Copies of this chain bind each other. A is one copy, B any other.
Amino acid sequence: MSVHHVTITVSTEGPGTYEITDRVAAEVRRAGCRNGVVTVFCRHTSCSLVIFENADPSARTDLEAWLERLIPARDPHFTHTAEGPDDMPSHIKMALTRTSESVPFADGRLMLGTWQGIFVWEHRAVPHQRSIVITVIGE
């Protein structure tokens, strides 16, 4: 059993889901473990993770639009507005989705389902460099 950390950077260009499945899979291969769990951890509070359908992009478009309708910018109740109208909605969207995910792997391959991809979900409007920690624990 051993532990391997790597931090990757994901460049985002506005709200949306950015797939990182291949990058996570590559780190599992690089770690050289056959069986274990890879933990993906998002080091931010205005973007998040989600494991979602990666075949038809319309599913992601509908998901993003639905969450935008649930938590619109410029809600007059918000008091935390110094960083712009999309900041507080971004924090809420993050809290409703995921900061960490643990994905099993066997024979060096992620045990994802056929339609599953791992995504960084950017909630802010301006471009960001997002930092994601990938930790492989296995044997």
Contact = CB atoms under 8 A, between A and B. Distances in A.
How many of these chains are in the complex?
Answer: 3
Contacts of A98: 98-99
Contact of A62 (B2, B45, B80, B139): B80
Would you call the interface of chain A mostly helix, strand, loop, or mixed?
mixed
B3 A52 contact: no
B50 A95 contact: yes
A62 B78 contact: yes
Interface of A: 1-3, 5, 7, 35-37, 39, 41-45, 50-53, 56, 58-59, 61-63, 65-67, 69-71, 75, 77-80, 82, 88, 91-92, 94-104, 106, 111-113, 115-116, 131, 133, 135, 137-139
